[in-house]
Amino acid sequence: MMNSHSEQDYKYLRLHFLILEKGEMEWKLLSLKPLFLFLLLLVVLDILTTNPSYESNPLTLYVWSQIGIFLSAWIKIGQVLFLGVLCVSAKKIAKPTEWPFAKKTLLGILVVLVAFYIFVVTWNVCIHVFY
């Protein structure tokens, strides 16, 4: 009798793990397009909310003094668009067996960049609100 309960518990746990695996599969269906568009939006918001008087990055200040803020902004947008071209090119060039790994890699890069720019835009907005 005790053994049959253990087997039933095992079957219940097995069903629970299958449900969790299905949930993970839904997460893997995340597309690159929404993350890329959100990153592009965040970069534009970063450019619009940056206050040059509170910029503390010496490299940014040097670049602004050499080429100007306007051209620097276009270069930043161009870099994000270039990343988008790389994503599209990777999808077209990669073999069907290589695409899942390439997609995971590109998703990882995009997630890190989106998280960084969320922080930067939040920081810029806080500077505008509190100063």
Per-residue pLDDT of the chain (131 residues; tens, 9 = 90+): 455 554 544 444 444 445 555 555 444 447 899 999 999 999 999 999 998 888 888 888 899 999 999 999 999 999 999 999 999 999 999 999 999 999 999 999 999 999 999 999 999 999 889 88
Name, in order, each residue with C-beta under 8 angstroms of 30's C-beta and a sequence gap of 6 or more. Answer: 107
Helix H segments across the chain?
2-28, 32-49, 58-67, 69-93, 99-130
Q: pTM of the predicted model, to two decimals?
A: 0.74
Angle between helices 32-49 and 69-93 (to 10 degrees): 170
